[in-house]
Amino acid sequence: MTTTNTSSISAGFAELSDPGAELGKLLSGAYPDARGRFGPFGGRFVPETLWGAVTRLEKVAKEALADPAFIDELTYQQRHWVGRPTPMMHAANLSARWGNGCQVWLKREDLAHTGAHKINNALGQALLAKRLGVQRIIAETGAGQHGVATAAACARLGFPCRVYMGAKDVERQQPNVQRMKWFGAEVVPVTSGDATLRSAIDEALRHWVGDPLGTHYLLGSAVGPHPFPWLVRTFQSVIGSESRVQMLEQAGRLPDAVFSCVGGGSNAIGMFHGFLGDAGVQIFGAEAGGQGVGAGLNAATMASGRPGVLHGCYSYLIQDGAGQVARTQSISAGLDYPGVGPEHSFLHAIGRVRYVPVLDADALSAVREVCLGEGVLPALEPSHAVAAARAWVQENPGKVVLINLCGRGDKDMPILMKNL
């Protein structure tokens, strides 16, 4: 585990000198501010041609979220199509296995329709697309989960759908490529750049520029230009709000610590928002440590990055000495991204959330433990959160921990069969 010297980070940003006041601004809704910023992070670094689309999206989203008819429709679809609320499960065997008096709880987002949290955001934005009056939806995908969720939402709501996916990911996530096609989506392999998620987002943004008002770009994580980080978080916050109620009901108390994996950061920010205001709840984001931070290739953005601009926002970013976006690597396609959502950079800088890198090998052993202990096959991404929690309870006796099990592992079968 690494600890973050937050005072030195905050010192780099004059506006973050009072972390308590900054958190207050976030919780009161003053952030994101009018420029789409969380302190110094975020913003809207887009070409002129996209300005109309992103400002329209912000306006329509704010109207929709204040409209009871929209909320009713969203709630109806969440309940009957997605399967919400997802269960909160006490992991008794995992708790006993880890020992040290810990009690482990798993938020079962893997049981949401299409097998991960991605559907929460895909559904919300697809409903918004109806209000926007667009004719088609495009999306990017990494592990394929967002592509599948978007394709499913488009099938249900009647939109033509095209999904950009890195050629490398097309290869390592075949089952999801098939599922997207069965839901009627066109899957476009992207061979430029690193041929993973980052290039897929580049490509989707490029195509959006061609038809900004007739197409909705259904971005899959809490990244990108404002309003996306806020919008995606809003739709994913259902994870945290449900979890908070379920912990109080089932455990009779709030957790001591909450763990989520962080790729772009959507499942994590949705979970974290349920607990950011509870000073007694420690919050941890598990990043992809890959083969090691410092030594090998990784995708641990907070641990190895520094602030820069990627995909329309200012946030932590893994870059080389010349400021070029650097190559990343993780065993999980969903975490293999050099950037991170701006709200996470803010929470890192004010020290409210601690971000810890988790090695590929530790995530793999966590997959095994959850399988053997609980009869649940987790995706590789949340297995990073499981491994981070496992390490933390060894040093902190008698703790109640909540882990966001944000996806199921069926999509990872080919990789797991090679590595386990």
Q: Which residues bind ligand PLP (CB under 6 A)?
A: 116, 118, 142-143, 145-146, 221, 261-268, 334-335, 379, 381-382, 406-407
Taking the complex as a whole, the smallest distance from the CB of residue 170 to ligand PLP amounts, in Å, to 15
Nearer to ligand PLP, 42 or 263 (CB): 263
**371, containing H or E segment:** helix 360-374
Count of CA atoms in the C-beta half-sphere (13 A) of 58: 18
- Strand residue runs (E) in 311-380: 313-317, 353-359
Taking the complex as a whole, the smallest distance from the CB of residue 11 to ligand PLP amounts, in Å, to 28
Hey, which residues does 299 pair with through a beta bridge?
288
Taking the complex as a whole, the smallest distance from the CB of residue 267 to ligand PLP amounts, in Å, to 3
Q: Which residues contact 407 (CB under 8 A, 6 or more apart)?
A: 109, 110, 115, 116, 117, 118, 143, 145, 267, 334, 378, 379, 381, 382
Cα dihedral across residues 74, 410, 272, 15: positive or negative: negative
Taking the complex as a whole, the smallest distance from the CB of residue 84 to ligand PLP amounts, in Å, to 16
Q: What's the chain's length in residues?
A: 420
Cβ atoms within 10 A of the Cβ of 195, count? Answer: 18
CA distance 407 to 404: 9
Nearer to ligand PLP, 25 or 415 (CB): 415
Whether residue 361 contacts residue 330, with contact meaning beta carbons closer than 8 Å, is answered with no
CA distance 139 to 127: 15
Nearer to ligand PLP, 103 or 333 (CB): 333
Taking the complex as a whole, the smallest distance from the CB of residue 317 to ligand PLP amounts, in Å, to 15
Burial of 13 (0-12, 13-18, 19+ CB in 10 A): middle
Nearer to ligand PLP, 19 or 83 (CB): 83
Nearer to ligand PLP, 70 or 272 (CB): 272
Q: What distance lies between CA 267 and its chain's CA centroid? A: 4
CA distance 266 to 269: 5
How would you classify residue 184: left for phi > 0, otherwise alpha for psi between -120 and 50, otherwise beta?
left
Q: Comparing C-alpha atoms, which of 268, 291, 296 is closest to residue 381?
A: 268
3-state helix, strand, coil in the chain (%, to 5): 50, 20, 30
Taking the complex as a whole, the smallest distance from the CB of residue 173 to ligand PLP amounts, in Å, to 10
Q: Which residue is nearest to ligand PLP (CB)?
A: 407
Taking the complex as a whole, the smallest distance from the CB of residue 222 to ligand PLP amounts, in Å, to 6
Nearer to ligand PLP, 209 or 371 (CB): 371
- Cis, bond preceding 189 (omega within 30 deg of 0): no
Nearer to ligand PLP, 258 or 406 (CB): 406
Taking the complex as a whole, the smallest distance from the CB of residue 268 to ligand PLP amounts, in Å, to 6
Taking the complex as a whole, the smallest distance from the CB of residue 306 to ligand PLP amounts, in Å, to 20
Nearer to ligand PLP, 255 or 407 (CB): 407
Nearer to ligand PLP, 42 or 265 (CB): 265
Taking the complex as a whole, the smallest distance from the CB of residue 221 to ligand PLP amounts, in Å, to 3
Q: Comparing C-alpha atoms, which of 386, 348, 101, 97 is closest to residue 258?
A: 386
Nearer to ligand PLP, 212 or 274 (CB): 274
